[in-house]
């Protein structure tokens, strides 16, 4: 039976060319798959004039050139021959004429550079974070981070507080071998890991557009320090919080769910590919926030799997294990489900996940104000105001926090104080907004013009 479409494990080719041995190599390295020859991209059987010859030649070539044994099945539909070449997954790396190929989604890619190094290490049962370096000595460890970990890990490692020797603790965490620290130890507990891994940091930037950056920050230190610093700076500098009161209790709700952002950043620093030279990036726009890092999903997991219960397949096993023991993450692949639940609970769209070109990203979006405003307000904005986008965003900020100051609004929309005041005056002139009370201590009020 012909599959419905091309996928991770299926490829269609109208005819045979020896160059398609690359696809067989890619399947062998990435979970196996079937190559259908004699079928075009529209699933139409075109037929083969030399099907019998290919039945003999293809197995010989895959065996002689790659050491791969494939099953070649002759099929027929409405009098037209086609063949199915079934390639199993191989536990050892497979090359074709000294080059390595890998099936990623519905494309076949040649592995080079860091991607090839990472692939070969994994095929030989070695992860990047488990490699020990001669220059890494226990003196490079930050003892304060060790003590922080011990407090956090108390629930999952009940006796951890009694361990006074950091070296023994690191040995129990599989972070020391033969007296040498591995890469995971430096990343998690190192005093200055960027001396050894310059790419191991987080960049946060606020953008007015895809190319115009307003401000940025660089987050360094070990991974425990980075997660705390990143969340603190997001909360205090880049994102706003709506303030409400329940009786005498003050409540602050970040514009994106705190726990969802924290989970996404944790996933980024744990699962990223540290062989690359790119930092984890957090890009903040007027209406969205994107977290990006290098390191695509493992081939066993598809993007659509992230919205249901799925396997946990961490790229860096030791990093994931330490963060799990510290209580930061679960080991059951529930992180993405937690992000989704937190966003829905805050009446925001589900986060969008993308794995492409060895990159993984999480996109958080704000609720579309155009669908939330009353119809008369939407019409007024479109007809009365020239700069709809910025006024729209100002109303969204005030709807969340009606005591927001002009400097806060200016920072949020990415404009100066003077320009922000102009937008506010336009909203007032249009009869959509007014100020109640004094400049200090007062609040904004969004007006329904039909009721005025």
Spatial distance between the Cα atoms of 326 and 328, rounded to a whole number of angstroms: 6
In this prediction, the residues of the chain whose per-residue pLDDT falls under 50 are 369-388, 449-452
Dmax over Cα atoms in the chain, in whole Å? 88
Q: Give residue-wise pLDDT tens across range 8-37.
A: 889 999 999 999 999 999 999 988 999 999
Instruction: Specify the residue for token string 């529930």.
Output: 334
Angle 312-313-317 (CA atoms, 0-180°, nearest 5)? 110
C-alpha closest to that of 257 among 365, 180, 111: 365
pLDDT for residue 247: 62
pLDDT for residue 374: 40
Helix and strand counts by DSSP (H, E) for the chain: 15, 19
- Residue spans per domain, the chain: 10-111, 112-367, 369-451
Token couple for 375? 């119809």
- Structure letter (DSSP) for residue 92: S
Q: What is the H or E stretch that residue 340 is in?
A: helix 335-345
- Parallel, antiparallel, or unpaired: how do β-strands 33-37 and 10-13 relate? parallel
C-alpha closest to that of 306 among 266, 285, 334: 334
Architecture of domain 112-367 in this structure? 2-Layer Sandwich (3.30)
- Identify the CATH number of the domain defined by range 10-111: 3.30.950.30
Question: Residue 420 CB: number of other CB atoms within 10 A?
Answer: 21
pLDDT for residue 204: 95
Token couple for 349? 């769209």
Is 0.85 topped by the overall pTM? no
Is residue 91 within 8 Å of 101, Cβ to Cβ? no
CA–CA distance from 368 to each of 60, 75, 210, 433 (Å)? 58, 52, 19, 19
pLDDT for residue 378: 39
Is residue 234 within 8 Å of 282, Cβ to Cβ? yes
Q: What is the H or E stretch that residue 393 is in?
A: helix 388-400
Is CATH 1.10.3720.10 the right assignment for the domain spanning 369-451? no
């Amino acid at each position: 039976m012909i599959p419905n479409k091309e996928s991770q494990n299926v490829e269609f080719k109208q005819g045979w060319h020896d160059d398609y041995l690359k696809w067989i190599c890619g399947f062998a390295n990435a979970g196996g798959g079937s190559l259908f020859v004699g079928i075009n991209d529209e699933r139409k059987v075109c037929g083969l004039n030399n099907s019998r010859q290919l039945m003999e030649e293809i197995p010989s070539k895959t065996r002689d050139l790659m050491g791969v044994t494939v099953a070649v099945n002759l099929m027929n539909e409405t009098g037209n021959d086609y063949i199915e070449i079934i390639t199993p997954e191989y536990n050892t790396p497979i090359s074709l004429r000294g080059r390595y190929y890998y099936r990623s989604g519905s494309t076949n890619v040649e592995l080079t550079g860091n991607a090839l190094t990472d692939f070969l290490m994994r095929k030989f049962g070695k992860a990047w974070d488990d490699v020990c370096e001669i220059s890494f000595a226990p003196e490079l460890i930050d003892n304060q981070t060790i003590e922080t970990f011990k407090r956090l890990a108390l629930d999952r490692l009940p006796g951890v507080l009694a361990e006074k020797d950091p070296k023994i603790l690191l040995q129990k965490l599989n972070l020391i071998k033969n007296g040498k620290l591995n890469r995971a130890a430096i990343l998690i507990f190192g005093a200055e890991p960027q001396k050894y891994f310059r790419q191991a940091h987080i960049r946060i930037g606020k953008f007015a557009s895809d190319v115009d950056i307003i401000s940025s920050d660089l987050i360094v230190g070990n991974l425990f320090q980075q997660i705390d610093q990143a969340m603190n700076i997001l909360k205090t500098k880049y994102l706003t919080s709506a303030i409400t009161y329940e009786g005498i209790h003050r409540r602050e709700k970040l514009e994106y769910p705190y726990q969802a952002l924290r989970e996404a950043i944790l996933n980024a620093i744990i699962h990223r590919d540290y062989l690359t030279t790119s930092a984890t990036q957090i890009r903040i726009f007027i209406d969205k926030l994107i977290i990006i890092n290098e390191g695509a999903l493992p081939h066993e997991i598809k993007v659509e799997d992230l919205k249901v219960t799925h396997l946990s397949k961490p790229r860096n096993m030791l990093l994931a294990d330490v963060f799990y023991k510290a209580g930061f993450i679960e080991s059951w692949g529930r992180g993405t489900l937690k992000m989704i639940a937190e966003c829905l609970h805050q009446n925001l769209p589900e986060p969008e996940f993308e794995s492409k070109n060895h990159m993984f990203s999480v996109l958080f979006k704000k609720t579309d104000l155009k669908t939330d405003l009353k119809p008369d307000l939407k019409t007024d904005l479109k007809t009365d105001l020239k700069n709809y986008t910025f006024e729209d965003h100002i109303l969204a900020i005030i709807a969340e926090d009606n005591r927001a100051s002009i400097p806060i609004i200016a920072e949020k929309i990415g404009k100066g104080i003077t320009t922000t005041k102009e937008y506010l005056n336009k909203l007032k002139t249009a009869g959509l907004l007014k100020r109640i009370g004094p400049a200090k201590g007062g609040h904004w009020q969004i007006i329904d013009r039909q009721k005025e």
